[in-house]
Structure 1
Amino acid sequence: MSRTKRETERKYEVPPADDTPWLPDLGEVDGVASVVGNGLEELDAVYYDTADLRPAGASAALRRRTGGDAGRHLELPLTGDGREEVRAPLSDTVPAALRDLTLSGSRGEELRPVVRIRSRRSTRHLLDPEGAVLAELSLDRVRAQSLSAGRTRAAHTS
């Protein structure tokens, strides 16, 4: 069974300072009553695409992730900076529902692993005075490995 979630994600690059990037005091932002840390997560994701990277070219991404939000995830672009994420439970094969949703982007080409991204994620929730989550802030230390010919690696913090 799959489920969907709509979200707006913005990514910013921060300067590294030892192991923890510097952050301003987010509790001073209008409407934010408190900031709650949720600890560290280790995420390991393998992204699937066609040989010519057609889905990625259309801003779509299919991944198999272990760690915090383990499962199969298909990210589809929406207008503006939003996206819709269709999620299915973790499995060894791409569930038919997700595979069918990728057909328009892949045009029936085989989906294969193209990149592995391992992240160490520190997450904070910005809460209103009633304790409701206004926003989630994630700081990621990322290592990427190409799974295509001529493998390369990269590391990044954002």
Structure 2
Amino acid sequence: MKKNLTLDQARFISSAGKLLHDFLFEVQADHVQICCKDSPFGETTMSQLHVINTVRAHGQLSMTELAGMLGITPPSATVMVDRLVEKGVFTRQHCTSDRRKVMVYVSPAAEIYIQKLEGAVVSGCKTLVEKIGPATARQWCEVLEKVKRILENDFNMSMKMVGETPVANDLKKRAAEG
């Protein structure tokens, strides 16, 4: 019985998490469409926003690191980065310790638009928090703080490549066993 409850809870968390993810991406997409059409972000796709958010979260990344985090090949990452460099969103620079390695980071000009985009996301979250009320919002923050701590400590999610998380390792082990 407990196994079914855990599975039902996991399904609900997955479903609600997807809805929240979609809501936040929709807020970003709306902001880009309405407020940034004449900026480097004009006509930015959701995939490109994901790439931008990934690079910004880490400050700078090599093409190999970025590809690993996105779960795509380095050539695919290069094509995406090329488009964002052309738009002025990203800047490339050779690594000082290894000239063969190219590092990608958000350009200073694009940083202004990203801060505005983050403001729009916070505003969307504020609207959601106002709708659920202060007591539920406080409980939600407590739960998310625990989830954040577990993801950072137990799953070391800050710099994981796709396929290298503890969950992926468990899936690989199960696949090998049976």
Structure number, greater radius of gyration: 2
Give the TM-score normalised by structure 2. 0.22
Give the TM-score normalised by structure 1. 0.24
More strand by percentage: 1
More helix by percentage: 2
Instruction: Between the two structures, name the one with larger relative contact order (CA 8 Å, sep ≥ 6).
Output: 1
